[in-house]
Amino acid sequence: MPEYSTEQNLRLAQQMLDQQGQITDLTKERDGAYRERAHLVALLAALTDDAVISYARDIEEPGWQIVYLTLGGHQASWHISPRDADLFAHVERVDVEDPRARWDGHTTEAKYERIATWTAELAERCGPACSEMHTETGRCVIARNR
């Protein structure tokens, strides 16, 4: 093992501290982005009939969940971090064996293609006037009667 001078050791220690600070900043940025996404998925769940959430079987870390939505007749699902679980208190919790909590095999790419298709369909069908036709449940009468 090479020997380093005190000055070299101090420089290395400072570099390690700087890198740890960068890692901490990047972790906060990543967690903030996931929290933002979780807010949007929670909103979408509130606007979607039959949204359910269940514990994630595919993650060993405790507390992870998966929210399952049906959008335009297709499943979309997202992993939810334990730190974001509070945003999903309004979503029906189901057992992992519940058929509504079974992943249909969609990829992330397919999920976002489905969402893009459904978004375009809703925009065409409902349009800006949709906001005037919401019921007390918050769901668009046009979209509900499709």
* Percentage of the chain modeled with pLDDT above 70: 84
Is residue 125 within 8 Å of 143, Cβ to Cβ?
yes
Which residue is it, tokens 């809703």?
Answer: 122
Residue 143 CA: distances (Å) to CA of 43, 52, 110, 114: 16, 20, 22, 16
d(CA 63, CA 80): 9
Strand 74-80 with 65-71, pairing: antiparallel
pLDDT digits (tens, 9 = 90+) for 85-140: 999 999 999 999 999 999 999 999 999 999 999 888 888 877 666 655 555 555 56
Is the pLDDT assigned to residue 78 strictly greater than 80?
Answer: yes
CB 46 within 8 A of CB 67: no
